[in-house]
Structure 1
Amino acid sequence: MQYRLGELFCGPGGIAWGATNADIGNPEYTIIHQWANDYDADTCETYRYNICPEATQTVYHEDIRKFDMSKLAEIDALAFGFPCNDYSVVGEQKGMNGVYGPLYSYGVKALKRFRPLWFLAENVGGLRNANEGKAFTKILSELRNAGYVITPHLYKFEEYGIPQARHRIIIIGIRNDLDFTYRVPSTAPYAGIDNSCRTAIEVPPIAGDALNNERTKQSPMVVKRLNHILPGQNAFTADLPEELQLNIKGARISQIYKRLDPDKPSYTVTGSGGGGTHIYHWEEPRALTNRERARLQTFPDDYEFIGSKESVRKQIGMAVPCRGAKIIFEAVLKTFAGIPYEFTEPNINE
């Protein structure tokens, strides 16, 4: 079975790369791109260039709220990483009351229109707590009422060998008239993998002419500050001279001027970059390049991001780790192919 995948809020292609590269050793079970949509122009260009260069017209750069789904081709599977801005613990957590909170409903709309065999929906872990938990309950209820048996789970990608501590809720749904049961893939096969950020960034070395590898210029003050911050420390836990301390009241976000610990997975790669929220190298007094950040997201080195340096940084930070997506899609394919695999129980109750 070749599953034709449609994507809403497709991002730069982390989910799509994982889907189209999923391999269970049976060529009869594969996933192919059918169409995709995103509101950001650069993101759409990146997706076209890397995922479907032969069918660029199948990527629609449009606002989902005005998007005419009736023009889309039929699909067998749907993926939607609906915008997380209003559910993120870093943001204001407006949940359903925010601009982005209700956008999941377009995924539900697509499920009802196309009736795909299965779907993957993705969002941040903070989704569980938005609106006192009511938002998550409502979303799960609507996905179930659209006709799907759902399996929500908080995936901790570092436990799957990804060199980044990135925790995301992913919901797999299988149409409720089908006799298949999805299981969350076990983390056990990945227990011995070296997923330190040092190995991810340095092995193999990044070529001097690598794509999207421009350095960020650091001010003399930032260089001085970083020279006082040890690996794993941030601007608030380091022993900084008074003139280099940050005069910030209120929330002290732990990622501000935080240097990586080279022997551990990276902390979460985000789409922001101002005010000291770049990811900082453990040894050199500088922010990571976009290519280094892409390595932490497990994008291959030949994956070219289109747009300005700031746009690329945002695209990489908003993506799903390629290899993490691949693991989940392979579990879906094995489910439909009847191939057993190691699994664990979901850690989120419906």
Structure 2
Amino acid sequence: MTKKPTAIDLFCGAGGLSEGLRQAGYSILAGNDIDPYAGATFAATHPDAKFIPGSVRDLEASDFLEVTGLKKGELDCLAGGPPCQGYSVYNHQRGMHDERSHLFREYLRIVEGLMPKWLVMENVTGIMSAGEGEAFQAVLAGIRALGYNVEARILRAEEYGIPQERRRVVFIGNRLGLPIMWPKKTHGEGLRPFTTIKDALADLPALSNGEDGGVQGYATEPKSDFQTELRAGSNAVYNHAAPRLGAINIERMKHIPQGGSWRDIPFDLLPSGMKRAKRSDHTKRYGRMKWDGLSCTVLTKCDVHWGAYIHPDQNRSISVREAARIQSFPDWFQFEGPRTEQYVQVGNAVPPMLGRKIGEAIVSAIESGSADADDTEERKAAAG
């Protein structure tokens, strides 16, 4: 039996990227995050991994080697997504002066101490423009300075079967001289149809505004391949409760059709600030999802004031479980902590399905490198 490749997840959050790597065949040995609620979720959902709490600034590579029993250079893959708020387009003061913009240096410090064979780093696309691209170039230069071949690409989640418009920059590197392979797109024009909101959510029980039914049964049998996959290993619905919105918001929702937004709300019902807005502004605010469409990017707050987070036909905002479905988390994956913190964990995560595709691409590169090595040996033997 082939030994599973090993991975450690820095800035692991709830563990979306590491869950994806686990699905791709990796053994997740450890994770680190400063957020105690995300850490509780990671620990509960990755029972074979060691969670190391606290700021990465207070940790050394030796801490990870100690808990995993590895020696420097033995780790197969170091994964991680340094907090991205410093680069986010939603942060209007973003830039290199934001101290969170420098956490990638901590990631590189741990890379240097561990010298993994492969590394994966994920971030928002804003890293490419923040400080006129200074951060993006610094990440590439820092990784190359450690002896790694590295490439970066923007990956679109919806092109890999995730029911959400989500763009993220992914860096993949290795120090083995192997080619860097990227996951092949599976959905979109000329490929499989995009996974829709209906594909993702139609089997979940209905909720009224503010309703928390606790652990619930499914409303129907699976109605899509996506639902079948995410329901595997689970016989109930967890983290499925609707935030309680005020009466004025419920009244506003009554006027919003599927695919509609704040523009459909009668003027006298609009929030005062939005009465001054241009019709071309805030395109997603008070947006209602379409059953046959994609979700907008799941953020750390699925707040109807900020995005299209109204259920397609129920007058409420989406639950944590619905956000997790849109992020491709399996249903057995339960989120710990207060509900507001659960939304943060879901919104900050790498969609596990995308993490799996990345992990599988790395495995393919390793196998292709092994095949090349075997071919070389055979040619040498034949020439011998």
Matched, 1:324 2:354: yes
Matched, 1:44 2:42: no
Letter of the structure 1 residue corresponding to residue 42 of structure 2: Y
2:305 aligned partner: 276
Letter of the structure 1 residue corresponding to residue 272 of structure 2: N
Letter of the structure 2 residue corresponding to residue 234 of structure 1: S
Distance in 1, Cα, partners of 2:57 & 2:269: 46
1:225 aligned partner: 252
Distance in 1, Cα, partners of 2:300 & 2:54: 20
CA 1:188–1:300 in structure 2 vs 1: closer, same or farther (change >3 Å)? Answer: closer
Letter of the structure 2 residue corresponding to residue 48 of structure 1: A
Pairing 1:145-224 to 2, within 5 Å after superposition: 145-175=145-175, 178-188=176-186, 191-203=191-203, 207=218, 210-224=237-251
Distance in 2, Cα, partners of 1:79 & 1:214: 31
| Runs of 4+ deviating beyond 6 Å | none
Distance in 1, Cα, partners of 2:41 & 2:301: 18
Q: Would you say the 8 A contact 2:183–2:360 is kept in 1?
A: no
Q: Would you say the 8 A contact 1:212–1:290 is kept in 2?
A: yes
TM-score (structure 2 length as normaliser): 0.80
State the structure with bigger RCO (CA 8 A, min sep 6), 1 or 2.
1
Letter of the structure 1 residue corresponding to residue 161 of structure 2: G
Letter of the structure 1 residue corresponding to residue 51 of structure 2: V
Matched, 1:15 2:40: no
Letter of the structure 2 residue corresponding to residue 287 of structure 1: S
Distance in 2, Cα, partners of 1:304 & 1:118: 29
* Identity level (%): 29
How far the C-alpha of 1:330 sits from its partner, in A, is 0.3
Per-residue Cα deviation, 1:274-318 (whole angstroms, up to 9, x for no partner): 572361112111100111111001111111101111110110010
CA 1:293–1:4 in structure 2 vs 1: closer, same or farther (change >3 Å)? Answer: same
Q: Would you say the 8 A contact 1:164–1:266 is kept in 2?
A: yes
1:345 aligned partner: none
Pairing 1:1-350 to 2, within 5 Å after superposition: 1-22=3-24, 30-51=25-46, 53-55=47-49, 58-73=50-65, 74=70, 75-175=75-175, 178-188=176-186, 191-203=191-203, 207=218, 210-235=237-262, 238-248=263-273, 252-274=281-303, 276-277=305-306, 279-338=309-368
Letter of the structure 2 residue corresponding to residue 267 of structure 1: C
Distance in 2, Cα, partners of 1:19 & 1:54: 14
Distance in 2, Cα, partners of 1:70 & 1:93: 36
How far the C-alpha of 1:230 sits from its partner, in A, is 2.0
Distance in 2, Cα, partners of 1:253 & 1:240: 13
Per-residue Cα deviation, 1:78-113 (whole angstroms, up to 9, x for no partner): 001111101111112522210210000111111111
The SS at the match of 1:162 is: coil
Q: Would you say the 8 A contact 1:163–1:296 is kept in 2?
A: yes
Distance in 2, Cα, partners of 1:99 & 1:92: 15
Larger Rg: 2
How far the C-alpha of 1:62 sits from its partner, in A, is 0.4
Q: Would you say the 8 A contact 1:12–1:315 is kept in 2?
A: yes
Distance in 2, Cα, partners of 1:273 & 1:193: 25
Distance in 1, Cα, partners of 2:195 & 2:35: 31
Structure 1: stretches of 5+ with no match in the other structure? 23-29, 341-350
Distance in 2, Cα, partners of 1:114 & 1:232: 48
Q: Would you say the 8 A contact 1:11–1:319 is kept in 2?
A: yes
Q: Would you say the 8 A contact 1:2–1:32 is kept in 2?
A: yes
Q: How many residues align?
A: 326
CA 1:250–1:91 in structure 2 vs 1: closer, same or farther (change >3 Å)? Answer: farther
CA 1:204–1:275 in structure 2 vs 1: closer, same or farther (change >3 Å)? Answer: closer
The range that moved more, 257-266 or 269-278, is 269-278
The SS at the match of 1:287 is: coil
Q: Would you say the 8 A contact 2:197–2:293 is kept in 1?
A: yes
Letter of the structure 2 residue corresponding to residue 63 of structure 1: S
Letter of the structure 1 residue corresponding to residue 31 of structure 2: A
The SS at the match of 2:91 is: coil
Letter of the structure 1 residue corresponding to residue 158 of structure 2: E
Structure 2: stretches of 5+ with no match in the other structure? 206-216, 220-235, 371-384
Q: Would you say the 8 A contact 1:93–1:130 is kept in 2?
A: no
TM-score (structure 1 length as normaliser): 0.87
Alignment root-mean-square deviation, CA:
2.1
Letter of the structure 1 residue corresponding to residue 183 of structure 2: P
Letter of the structure 1 residue corresponding to residue 43 of structure 2: R
Q: Would you say the 8 A contact 1:5–1:78 is kept in 2?
A: yes
The range that moved more, 291-300 or 133-142, is 133-142
Letter of the structure 1 residue corresponding to residue 218 of structure 2: A
Per-residue Cα deviation, 1:1-29 (whole angstroms, up to 9, x for no partner): 5322111100101101100111xxxxxxx
The SS at the match of 1:35 is: strand
Q: Would you say the 8 A contact 1:212–1:289 is kept in 2?
A: yes
How far the C-alpha of 1:231 sits from its partner, in A, is 1.7
Q: Would you say the 8 A contact 1:86–1:92 is kept in 2?
A: no
Q: Would you say the 8 A contact 2:303–2:317 is kept in 1?
A: no
